[in-house]
C-alpha cells in the first residue's frame, strides 16, 4: 500500500517536474523576443500569449542554411540564440555579407519576403542557433489581430534603414579603418564571434587589409 | 440699373472663377501624394480631406536648403514637383549623395527625424520644387487618426531598405559600370536631370570615371 502511494507520488512529482520544464522551455523560447518587443510596444499578457501562436520555433546547427539564393524567402526570422548572416555570392565566387544577426535581431531577404520573388541572398548559421520564424501570412494575421505590430515593424524597418544608410555612406566616404572602428563600437564582441575573413567581407575589404588594420590598432593602444 | 446688374454678375463670375482656381490649385497640390497613397492603401474621401490637414505645403527654389547638417530634421518631405537630394560632406569637403528624391518620393534624415538628434545629412533642391512637409507630431497624429498610415509608412520603409541594401551590396560587389547601368535602368531620366558630377558622387566614383563609362557605352551602342 505504502509502495503504491509512493510510486503514485513519484509519478505525480515527475509529472509536475516535466510540466515545469516544458513551461520554462516555452518561456525561454520567447524570452529575448518579448524583451525586445517590450522596448518598443506595450503588449498585454493575453496579446503575448496570442503572439506566440504565430511563430514557429526552429533550431539550426552551425553552417546550416535557412535560405538559399533562388528560393523564396518565406519567413522573417528572429534570433533567440546564436547568430546568422545574410550574404550574396558574386560571379567570381566572392561572398559579400550584408548583415550579421545576433540574439534579438531580425533577418530576412526583405525583397523576396515582400514580393515572393526568388531570393538574391543566402542566410546561414554561424553558431548553433534557436530561431522564431514568422511567415508572410502569420505576419499579416499578427498585424490584423494586434495592430501594435504594424508600429513595431515600422520602427524596426526605420532602424534597419538608418543603419544601412550609415553603412552605405561609410562605404562611400570612410577609410577601411574608420569602418572597422564603427563596426567594433556598434558591436564590441564581434571579433570574438565572427571569423576575420567574414568581418573583412562585411567591411568590403580583403582579409589582409583587415589584418593590417588590427595590427596597427594593437600597436597604437 | 443694367450696368449695376452687369457689374454684380462680373464680380460673382470672377468670384466663382477664383474659387475654382483655388480648388484646382489645392487639388493639384496633393495630386501626386494621393496617386502614390492609392497604390498602397485605400483612403475614403473623408480620410483624404483629413489627411491634407496634416501636411504643410512649401515651395523651394533651386539650390535652397530644407535641412542643413547639425540642425534637427523636423519633417519628412514629400516631393510633389521638382527634385531634392540628401547628402553628407566629409572632412575633405567631398559630397556623398545618399538619395535623390523625384516627384512622388519621400526624403528625410531618418535618424534625426526619429530621435531629434542633429542631422548628419543636408537636403537641398536640384530644381524649383513643390513639397508637402509632415512634422513628427503631425505624422503621429495622422497614424492615430488614420491607422492605415502605419501600414503605408511601413511599406515605404521596407522599399527604402530594399533599395539601400541593393545599393550597398552593389558598392561592395559590382563594378562602376554595373552600378551605373543599375541606376539608369531604375531611373532612365536621371542623366537629363542630374549633373554628371552628382551622379558620380551618388555612385561613389570620380566624374572622370563616369565620363569614361558613358563614352564606352556610347561607343558600344
**Residues A149-182 pLDDT 10s:** 999 999 999 999 999 998 888 888 888 899 999 8
- A13-42 residue pLDDT tens: 777 766 666 666 666 789 999 999 999 999
- Residues with Cβ within 8 Å of A91's Cβ and at least 6 positions away in sequence, in order, are none
Q: Closest Cα to residue A179, out of A189, A192, A169?
A: A169
Listed by number, the residues of chain B in 141-200 with a beta carbon closer than 8 Å to a beta carbon of chain A are 143, 147, 150-151, 153-154, 157-158, 160-162, 164-169, 171-173
- Low-confidence residues of chain B: pLDDT under 50: none
Q: A158 vs B98: CB contact, 8 Å cut-off?
A: no
CA distance A174 to B196: 22
User: Between A and B, how many CB-CB pairs are < 8 A?
Assistant: 78
What is each CA distance from A23 to A35, A37, A45, A49, in whole angstroms? 18, 20, 15, 13
Contact B172 A204 (CB under 8 A): yes
CB of B110 within 8 Å of any CB in chain A? yes
CA distance B156 to A33: 24
DSSP H/E element including A6: helix A2-29
Percent over 90 (pLDDT), chain A: 70
Express each pLDDT in A61-108 by its tens digit: 999 999 999 999 999 999 999 999 999 998 888 899 999 999 999 999
Q: Quick check: B171 and A169 in contact, CB under 8 A?
A: no
Identify which of A113, A85, A114, A115 has the alpha carbon closest to the alpha carbon of residue A100: A85
Higher pLDDT, residue A66 or A12: A66
pLDDT class for A144, splitting at 50, 70, 90?
Answer: very high
Q: What angle do CA A173, A176, A178 make, to 5 degrees?
A: 70
Cell of A90: 558574386
pLDDT grade, residue A142 (50/70/90)?
very high
DSSP track, B152-170: HHHHHHHHHHHHHHHHHHH
What is each CA distance from B205 to B4, B9, B130, in whole angstroms? 71, 65, 30
Contact check, Cβ <8 Å, B164/A161: yes
| Chain position carrying cell 558591436 | A187
pLDDT for position A217: 82
Residue with cell 491634407: B52
CB pair distance less than 8 Å for B171 and A96: no
pLDDT at residue number A12:
78
ipTM above 0.90, yes or no: no
Q: Provide the grid cell at B68.
A: 542643413
CA distance A150 to B124: 31
What are the chain A neighbours of B157 within 8 Å (beta carbons)? 154, 157-158, 161
User: What pLDDT does B180 receive?
Assistant: 92
Task: Say how far apart CA A67 and CA A58 lie, in whole Å.
Answer: 13
Nearest to A168 among B111, B157, B167 (CB): B167
- pLDDT of B216 reads 87
**Burial (CB count <10 Å: 0-12, 13-18, 19+), residue A149:** buried
Give the rounded distance of the alpha carbon of A17 from its chain centre: 31
Nearest CA to B74 out of B104, B102, B114 is that of B114
The verdict on a CB contact (< 8 Å) between B157 and A161 is yes
Find the residue in A nearest to B202 (Cα).
A172
C-alpha cell read off for B19? 474659387
Nearest to B154 among A94, A153, A169 (CB): A153
The answer for A62, left when phi > 0, alpha when psi is -120 to 50, beta otherwise, is: beta
Q: What percent of chain A has pLDDT over 70?
A: 94
Residue A203 pLDDT > 70: yes
Whether A214 has a pLDDT exceeding 80, the answer reads yes
Amino acid at each position: 500500500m505504502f509502495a503504491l502511494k509512493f510510486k503514485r507520488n513519484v509519478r505525480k512529482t515527475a509529472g509536475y517536474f516535466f510540466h515545469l520544464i516544458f513551461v520554462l522551455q516555452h518561456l525561454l523560447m520567447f524570452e529575448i523576443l518579448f524583451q525586445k518587443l517590450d522596448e518598443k510596444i506595450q503588449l498585454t499578457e493575453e496579446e503575448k500569449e496570442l503572439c506566440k501562436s504565430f511563430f514557429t520555433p526552429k533550431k539550426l546547427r552551425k553552417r546550416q542554411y535557412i535560405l538559399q539564393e533562388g528560393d523564396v524567402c518565406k519567413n522573417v526570422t528572429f534570433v533567440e540564440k546564436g547568430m546568422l548572416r545574410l550574404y550574396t555570392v558574386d560571379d567570381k565566387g566572392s561572398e559579400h555579407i550584408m548583415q550579421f544577426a545576433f540574439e534579438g535581431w531580425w533577418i530576412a531577404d526583405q525583397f523576396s519576403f515582400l514580393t515572393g520573388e526568388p531570393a538574391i541572398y543566402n542566410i546561414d548559421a554561424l553558431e548553433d542557433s534557436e530561431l522564431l520564424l514568422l511567415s508572410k501570412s502569420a505576419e499579416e494575421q499578427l498585424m490584423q489581430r494586434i495592430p501594435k505590430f504594424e508600429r513595431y515593424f515600422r520602427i524596426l524597418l526605420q532602424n534597419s534603414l538608418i543603419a544601412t544608410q550609415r553603412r552605405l555612406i561609410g562605404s562611400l566616404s570612410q577609410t577601411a579603418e574608420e569602418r572597422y572602428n564603427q563596426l567594433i563600437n556598434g558591436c564590441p564582441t564581434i571579433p570574438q564571434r565572427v571569423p576575420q575573413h567574414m568581418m573583412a567581407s562585411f567591411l568590403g575589404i580583403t582579409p589582409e587589409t583587415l589584418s593590417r588594420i588590427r595590427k596597427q590598432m594593437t600597436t597604437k593602444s
